Structure 1
Amino acid sequence: MKLYPAFSSLALALALALTALTSPPLHASTGPGVAWQAAAADADIDRYFVQAKAEKKPVLLYWGAKWCPPCNQLKATLFNRADFIEQSKAFVAVGIDGDGPGAQKLGARFKVRGYPTLILFSPAGNEITRLPGEADAAQVMKVLQLGLSSGRPVKAVLADARAGKKLNANEWRLLGFYGWETDEQQLLPATERAATLAQLAKASEGADADTATRLWLKSVGSMAEGKPADPAGLPRLRAVLTDAAQAHAQMDVLTNEAPDLVKALTPQPGDARTALLADFDAALKRLNADTSLSRADRLNALQARIDLARIDAPKDDPQPKGIPAALLAEAREQAGRANREVTDGYERQAVVTEAAHLLGRAGLWKESDDLLKSALARSHSPYYLMSQLGGNARKQGKKQDALRWYEEAFNKSEGPATRLQWGSNYVAALFELSPEDTPRIEKAAAQLFAEAEKDPGAFYERSERSLKKVASLLAGWSQSPAQTAAYTRLKTQLDGVCGKLDPSDAKAKSACDGLLKTKKA
């Protein structure tokens, strides 16, 4: 799964009537499925934990937002499963819409950033585990059931593992399928993660083969950010790729981390890399054709094939050379088929955005643009697609088209946290593509500060990061009298926003006062 933190990844209002294209939002909690309870403030959460303790039930907390593709993927593949709905009777299901009034404060409380994040708590309110939202729905269900049956915090399990204590197979699985991408340093500092996972992989050998392999793959892949690994691991990776059952079990790791794995184990082009790429492509072809996987997961396998085909091309090359014509034809055909066949609104948000992205990675920009434009009218969050169109135009050097799409995406975006994020993206695009347009930059930044004034959660979590991004750009901006004057006006406006904050909210006051406190030379 690709998280949507700003990045993700991975915002989404968790609507639960999953059969309709225009289901009610998260807070409606209607329909025959899971009895989700919406949380928009600390008081809501505290009430649900009191309920959970009284009923002796764990709490499953979901954090997401309306536009977020992997969040919509969860709606289309996990939250509507009969076994998940039945299992939900055993826990208190709590959903946080990232655009809710107090959602960003709750994000700070629970240390969540990327959308989606799923956290399982004990009835007493202790965190048991974070679920791997990037895995396929069947695997997530197994991990959820493990967490429910164990009730033991994964933090304690990790401490025992690091101390050399004996773990059973289920405890190893909790570690292997922990949501490391959404850990936010709850278990480990990010700098220690790759080495620790490698140690766990070695320690788990003999207890559970799939878990040991998963931990090892993660330690070599994205957690190590493609740094060279012990080349002795190359036969192990090739064995996973050539074994259909193993490749299926590790599907999410292989598709999401393919380039990192290849670069780590074969740092330089040559015969070893060529052989590994051939094995990888064959495994990804099988996953792409595996109808037991969701359509988004199958498209992710196709995108991994494209990423590997362009592995030696410059990272941002808009027209990568060497992608086989047959692979380009597959990209066109599968993207077109997905656009024609998918009818569920949540699945469309996940699948169409994935298809458009892989088309762009293949250098098929017209096809990507056409797909996104054709989907605008049917998307419940068209502003996300508009941002993709802006990104497509920027990568092709079409500056004015890019700015037009980024501006329209900001104007059409909905929800306080989303508007701050989309506004900050628009301001960043202006600084990159049209830094001399002082009036336009000032107008966009002023609009963003006005949005912050209306949002009591503007100086927490994702919203605070959006405002910090804009402030950092403005801090180095004053290069002319007109820019200096604009900066002064914006600082005066922001000072007014800070002055209206609740004096008892020291966190928000400090964050606001610090935004334009100093300027870079």
Structure 2
Amino acid sequence: MKLTPRFAALAAAVLLASASAAPAAPGPGVSWQAAAADADIDRFFVQAKAEKKPVLLYWGAKWCPPCNQLKATLFNRADFIEQSKSFVAVNIDGDARGAQKLGTRFKVRGYPTLILFNAKGTEITRLPGEADAVQVMSVLQLGLAGGRPVKAVLADAKAGKKLSANEWRLLGFYGWETDEQQLLPVAERPATLAQLAKASEGADTDTATRLWLKSIGALAEGKAADPAQLPRLRGVLGDAAQSRAQMDVLANEAPDLVKALAPQPGEARSKLVAEFDAALRRLNADTTLSRADRLNALQARIELARLESPKDAVNPAGLPAALLTEVREQTGRANREITDGYERQAVITQAAYVLGRAGLWKESDELLKSALARSHSPYYLMSQLGGNARKQGHKLEALRWYEEAFNKSEGPATRLQWGSNYVAALVELSPEDTPRIEKAAAQLFAEAEKDPGAFYERSERSLKKVATLLTSWSKAAPQAAAVSRLKAQLDGVCGKLEADDAKARSACLAVFKGSAPKG
């Protein structure tokens, strides 16, 4: 899954006493049913079939900012709550026992993922979690109206068959970022989206534009496009209604779109950036959008202002003073005004990232520290503080925050993920500290032994990441001896796995043999 800029980033002493702290459930008002095993899912599909209702499956985690954004803007809407009476709402918390195993069953990886199934258990579509709530509701209603599975719709579209406007919309607003190759191999998506964009002309203008923008920006990732398409992008940017309809694609993919259609620095690129900035300013000021969406537009303006700077520049040069003032004002206002715990987790983490991208590291750190006591998942903010310190070269401070984040993290999958991040930081920033690295890795393997889902999906990737880091680190004799002990420890874990879980046993034995997977 391509991580959109909005959510890029990654306590015993922190009391979660704030009234704004949010509970772990997906949200009030909807009768969510928790699933943590195949038996749960099977029971809910039997229920759906008996009641002749579709199933909406939500895969997420307590700490995840975009998950909290859904809770703050979609799951609490009166129309969503009312609509939920017409489907069986199932929640898989990624930290529930067995959840990662269910992730394998449904081919879900990134948080959040929303999948709509019909009453017979056939997947209809994956909803676009990055779109705004009104658009997501529209797509949900299309799926609930008894439409065909998006896989069948895509096959007909590729074959040149006639589709209805609603079927084109289902394709345009499909959750491509969470597809996990259910419809298409990743390598085929840009060309397929371009084909769909061309074929949808005349059926639905917004859908055709969305497919076209995604084929260039979201998946081409900055590769040069046909310059003859530049006027079309300018038309979208200059039209308030069109840019509002495509706000998530424009904000998330601004740099890629500019580099694709104006590949060389110069007058043409500068003109396009100015037009893009004007459109993003409108979105940034549009109060019909959520705070997160408005902040996303502001972040896109920063990314465009950084376009000629090195990608990972810690202190980017040449950012307009007026833009920096806006960043300070908007992030500060969000911190003062937000009272909902879900929205706070989504927006404050994003605001801190925006400040960092603007080179305002002191303000970013201060915002995160001030928000720790009001966050229901402070360990996520601690990881951001560690990332801030690492980027600025403050190694000891970075390690302190990464360790604190790991210590305070909650849930088996989350702990393995945060632990792998801590080991990665140790190997990068303090490779000579063999005892500390061995202790951290040993703790992870001990926790994996107690977790039945440790060798599935996110948890498996976390463990493979640690093994890959340790293998590359074990060059000197003391390090090699430490890794040898860790391998022996993991062998013991593998030997205790249930004999009938061949997948887990195989994955465990392969941890030190494979390379770290992506994602």
Is it true that 1:221 corresponds to 2:217 in the alignment? yes
Q: Distance in 2 between matches of 1:494 and 1:299?
A: 44
Distance 1:181 1:491 in 2: 35
Indicate which of 412, 427, 431 corresponds to 1:431: 427
Equivalent residue letter for 1:501: L
Amino acid at match of 1:445: A
Contact 1:4–1:114 under 8 Å retained in 2: no
How much has 1:271 moved relative to structure 2? 1.2
Which consecutive unaligned segments of at least 5 residues does structure 1 have? 12-18
Decide which of 306, 309, 314 is 1:313's aligned counterpart.
309
SS of 1:322's equivalent in the other structure is coil
Question: In the alignment, is the contact (CA less than 8 A) between 1:10 and 1:70 conserved in 2?
Answer: no
Assess if the C-alpha contact under 8 Å between 2:72 and 2:343 holds in 1. Answer: yes
Work out which of the residue numbers 60, 70, 90 in structure 2 matches 1:74.
70
Asked if the contact 1:226–1:264 (Cα under 8 Å) also holds between the matched residues in 2, the reply is: yes
When residues 519 and 464 of structure 1 are mapped into structure 2, their CA distance, relative to the original with a 3 A threshold, is: closer
- Alignment check: 8 A CA contact 2:21 2:375 kept: no
Deviations 1:384-425 (A, max 9, x none): 000000110111111111111111000000000000000000
Q: Take 2:404 and 2:142, find their aligned partners in 1: how far apart are those partners?
A: 45
Shift of 1:270: 1.0
**Match of 2:395, as an amino acid?**
K
Q: Pick from 339, 342, 351 the counterpart of residue 343 of structure 1.
A: 339
Counterpart residue identity of residue 469, structure 2: L
Q: Secondary structure at the match of 1:224?
A: coil
Aligned equivalents of 1:391 and 1:22: distance in 2? 24
Task: Give CA deviations for 1:282-301 in whole Å, capped at 9, x if unaligned.
Answer: 00000000000000100000
Residue equivalent to 1:191: 187
Residue of structure 2 in register with 1:247 after alignment = 243
TM-score (norm 1): 0.95
| Residue 15 of structure 1: aligned partner | none
User: Residue deviations 1:93-151, cap 9 Å, x none?
Assistant: 00010000011001110000000000000000000000000000000000000111133
- In 2, the alpha carbon distance for the partners of 1:245 and 1:477 equals 54
Residues 55 and 518 of structure 1: CA distance in aligned 2, closer, same or farther (over 3 Å): closer
Q: Using the TM superposition, give the Cα deviation of residue 499 of structure 1 relative to its aligned residue in structure 2, in angstroms.
A: 0.7
The farther-off stretch of 508-517 and 131-140 is 508-517
Size of the alignment, in residue pairs? Answer: 509
Identity level (%): 81
2:59: which partner in 1?
63
For residues 441-480 of structure 1, the aligned pairs below 5 Å read 441-480=437-476
Distance (whole Å) between structure 2 residues aligned to residue 72 and residue 9 of structure 1: 15
Using CA pairs under 8 Å that are at least 6 residues apart, name the structure with larger relative contact order, 1 or 2.
Answer: 2
Which residue of structure 2 lines up, in the alignment, with residue 25 of structure 1?
A: 24
| TM-fit CA distance, 1:233 | 1.0
Would you say the 8 A contact 2:128–2:175 is kept in 1? Answer: yes
Secondary structure, counterpart of 2:473 in structure 1: coil
What corresponds to 1:237 in structure 2? 233
Is 1:53 the counterpart of 2:49 in the alignment? yes
TM-score under structure 2 length normalisation: 0.96
Distance 1:109 1:20, change over 3 A: farther
What pairs with 1:121-270 in structure 2 (closer than 5 Å)?
121-270=117-266
Which residue among 367, 371, 374 is the counterpart of 1:375? Answer: 371
- Name the structure 1 match of 2:92: 96
| Distance in 1 (alpha carbons) for counterparts of 2:238 and 2:117 | 38
Instruction: Describe the SS at the equivalent of 1:150.
Output: coil
Alpha-carbon separation, structure 1, partners of 2:22 and 2:237: 40
Q: Name the counterpart of 1:353.
A: 349
- What's 1:275 paired with? 271
Distance between the aligned counterparts of 1:94 and 1:2, measured in 2?
A: 25
Aligned amino acid, residue 360 of structure 1: G
1:338–1:8 distance in 2 versus 1, CA, 3 Å = closer
Equivalent residue runs for 1:275-424 within 5 Å: 275-424=271-420
Query: C-alpha displacement at 1:272, in angstroms?
Result: 1.0
Report Cα offsets for 1:262-285 as digits up to 9, x if no partner.
111111111111111011000000
Aligned equivalents of 2:515, 2:110: Cα separation in 1: 29
Code of the residue aligned with 2:219 in structure 1: it is: M
Kindly indicate whether the alpha-carbon contact (under 8 Å) linking 1:2 and 1:9 is maintained by their aligned counterparts in 2.
no
User: Unpaired segments of 5 or more residues in structure 2?
Assistant: 11-17
State the Cα distance separating 1:72 from its structure 2 match. 0.3
Output one character per residue of 1:51-90: Cα deviation in whole Å (capped at 9) or x when no partner. Answer: 0000000000000000000100000000000000000011
Amino acid at match of 1:96: I
Corresponding position: 1:515 with 2:515: no
CA distance in 2, matches of 1:236, 1:490: 57
- Distance of 2:291 and 2:23 partners within structure 1: 24
CA contact (8 A) 1:8 1:114 kept: no
Deviation, structure 1 residue 23: 4.7
